[in-house]
Chain A
Amino acid sequence: MQKSSRFVFSALCFGFAFLYIPILVLIAFSFNQSAIASVWGGFSLRWYTALFNNEQIIEAALLSLKIAATSATFATILGTMAGLALTQMGRYRGRLVFTGIIAAPLVMPEVITGLSLLLMFVSLQELIGWPVSRGASTITIAHITFSMAYVAVVVQSRLSSMDQSLHEAAMDLGGRPMQVAFDITLPLIAPSMLSGWLLAFTLSLDDLVIASFTSGAGASTLPMVIFSKIKLGVTPDINALATLIIGTVSMGIIIASLIMFRQNKLNKVG
C-alpha cells in the first residue's frame, strides 16, 4: 500500500509539474527585460507597454471579446434548450438523431467543422444571398454551433442528476410546462448554465482554426493575430498577453468555482 501510494504521489507531482512549468516559465519571461527568450535581463514591464500600444492586438482582442460574449450567450440559450429537449421532453421523432449530433461537435476535429461551416456559408450566400460577407457574424454563428454542444452536455448532466419529480411536482401543483421551466428548472440549473456560458466564452476566445475558416478578409480575432505572430517564433509581447489572459482566466475560474461550490451545497437537497 505504502509503495503504491508513493507512486501515485510522485505521478501527481510529475503531472502537475508538467502542466504548470511551461505556463510559469511563460509568465516569468513576460517580465523579462531582454528580448531573448532564454536570457534573463532583469525585471521589466516593457512588453506590457508594447502590448498596450499594439493597436492590432487591442482591436483583435476587442473583436474576440465581442464574439465570445455574443456566441456564449446564444450558445447558453440554445444549449440549455437542447439539454431540456434531451432530458425532459420525453420521446419524439428524431430524438435519436438529436442525441447523435449534440455530442459530436465536442470531438469533431476542428478542421472539419471549420471547413464544413465555411462551405455552408458560401452555399447559403449563393442560394439566398446571406451572409453577405464573412466576418464577425459568421465566426459568431460557428462558435455558437460548437460551443452549444458543450453547454448542452454540462446542462444535461445537471438535469439528469436532478430529481425528476421536482418538475412533475410543479406540474402537479398547476404549473404549465413553460412555467415549470422558468419557476423550477432554470433556477436549479442556473449554476450549470453559468459554467456553460463561461466554457462557451473561453472556447470562443480560444478558437483559431474554426475562426480562420469562417472569417472573411476584414475580421481577425485575437488567436488569429497571435498565431500569425508566433508562427515566426517567440515574441515577448505575446508572453505578456499570455500572462494577462492566464491571470484573468484563473481569477474567473476560482471565483466561479467558489460560487458553484456554494450553490452545490444549497442544492444538495434537490
Chain B
Amino acid sequence: MNREDSIKAQQQTKPYVAATPWLDPKAKPFIQIKGLSKQFNDFLAVDNVTLDIYKGELFTILGGSGCGKSTLLRMLAGFETPSEGQIIIDGVDMASIPAYDRPINMMFQSYAVFPHMTVEQNIGYGLKKDKLGKAEIATRVKDMLELVQLSELAKRKPHHLSGGQRQRVALARALIKQPKVLLLDEPLAALDKKLREQTQFELMNLQYELGITFVVVTHDQEEAMTLSDRVAVMDAGKFVQTGTPTQVYESPNNCFVADFFGTINLFNATVISTDTTTKTLRAELETTGTQLTASSEAEFAIGTEVIIGVRPEKIIVSQQRPEGDHLTITKGAVEDLAYYGNRSLYKVRSQSGRIIQVSAQNYQRSEALALEWDDKVYLSWDSSCNVVLSE
C-alpha cells in the first residue's frame, strides 16, 4: 500500500466526527480529566483541573514556564502520580496503569532519540517491547519510515541526523504504536523558524490523516493558534480559558489571556447604562468623554469601573474624523511609530495620556510615511471590537 492509498483508506474508514464535538452535549469525551491536582512538597503545580478532550481533537495546553502544563502532560503520560483527581481515557481509569501500559505515547521536547540505536531500532523499540514478531516489526517500521520520509536514513545513528530529522524519528517512534493519544511536549521549540512552519503543517496533516487525538503543550501562542482545534490557557496550575483559537483571541475572558495572545490595549471605563435585553453596556472611556458600547454577558451596576480591551489591528488611524454610529472614536497624537514594511505600528498618546497601540496594514504603496511624529489623529474602531475583561 503506498502512502496515498493508505491515506484514502484511513479517510474512508474514519468515522464521522463532529467538527465541534465540544458543543455537542451528546458527544462523549475521549479524555476526561476530573479534579486533577499535583502537589510537590509545598508547591501546588496543578490545581484542581477539569477538562474534556474529544476524539480526533488537536488540543493545546498553553502557558508560560512553571504554569503546570508540563506536570499535567506528565500525569497524562504516567510519569507523575496525581495527588488528587482522575484521568479517564476512552473509558478506562488510568490511575492503576503504569506509563508503559498506557495507550498513550509522547514526543519529548528534547526528542529523546536513543543515541545508541539506529533510526530503525529507535522506531521499532516500542513494537519490540510489545513482543511483536520480527517480520511484523520490520514491515511496520518500513511503512512508518516511508510515512515520515526517513527511509534512506534507516541505518543511521541519531548523531548523524539534523534536528528536523530527529524530530521525525521521535514522532515516528511514538506513532508506530498507534496510540489512542499522542502527547507532544513543545514539539517545535527545538527547530529553527523556517523548519518550524513547515513541520507545523506536516504535524497537522499527519494528525488529520491518522485521526489520533493530539495533546500539545507549548509556551508559544502562535504555535498554539495555528495548530489547535482548541486551546486551554493555563496559569498558576489552573485553566484560565478554554476555547477555539479565535475564541481565546477575539473574546478573551480576562486580561491575562488577552495579554498572553498578542498585544491588547486596555482602557478603564465607567459604566453609564446597561441594556439587559441586548446584553450591552455603554461606558465612558477613561475621562476623555468618548463613549462606547460593548456587549457583555455579565451585568454591571451604573458607575462600575470596567476594563475594555481592544486589539491594535482593529483600530484605524485617520487624520479626518470618521463617521458612523457603530464606531468608537477617540483622539490623540502620534508619539512613536515603527515601519515594518507590510504594516506600521503607531503608538498614539490619547487625551487621557494613555498610549494606544495601533497596527496598520500599509495597503497603499508609498515611499513617504503616511503619518509623522506628533501628527494629530483620530482613532476609531468598530464597537463590536470592544471586549469587557475581568482583572
Contacts and interface: CB of A to CB of B under 8 A. Distances in A.
* A, B: real partners: yes
Interface of A: 163, 165-166, 168-176, 179, 183-184, 187-188, 265-270
B108 A168 contact: yes
Given A174-B129, A174-B130, 19 more contacts: A165-B108, A165-B112, A169-B170, A171-B79, A171-B99, A172-B77, A172-B100, A172-B104, A173-B105, A173-B173, A173-B174, A174-B100, A266-B116, A266-B159, A268-B159, A269-B158, A270-B115, A270-B116, A270-B158
A120 B226 CA distance: 68
B100 A184 contact: no
Residue of B79, B112, B159 with most chain A CB atoms under a 10 A cut-off: B112
Given A163-B110, A188-B115, A269-B113, A174 B158 contact: no
Interface residues of B, number: 30
B109 A165 contact: yes
Contacts of B174: 172-173
A183 B114 CA distance: 10
A267 B130 CA distance: 27
B79 A270 contact: no
Contacts of A188: 115-116
A131 to B, nearest CB: 41
A10 B156 CA distance: 47
B114 A166 contact: yes
B177 interface: yes
B140 interface: no
B100 A176 contact: yes
B113 A179 contact: no
A174 B178 CA distance: 12
A172 B166 CA distance: 17
Nearest to A174: B129
B100 A171 contact: yes
Contacts of A187: 116
A270 B114 contact: yes
Contact of B126 (A174, A266, A268): A174
A188 B115 CA distance: 8
Contacts of B28: none
Contacts of A168: 77, 79, 99, 106, 108, 112
26 contacts: A163-B110, A165-B110, A166-B112, A166-B114, A168-B77, A168-B108, A169-B112, A169-B170, A170-B114, A171-B79, A172-B78, A173-B125, A173-B129, A174-B126, A174-B130, A174-B177, A175-B129, A188-B115, A265-B159, A266-B116, A266-B157, A267-B115, A268-B159, A269-B159, A269-B166, A270-B158
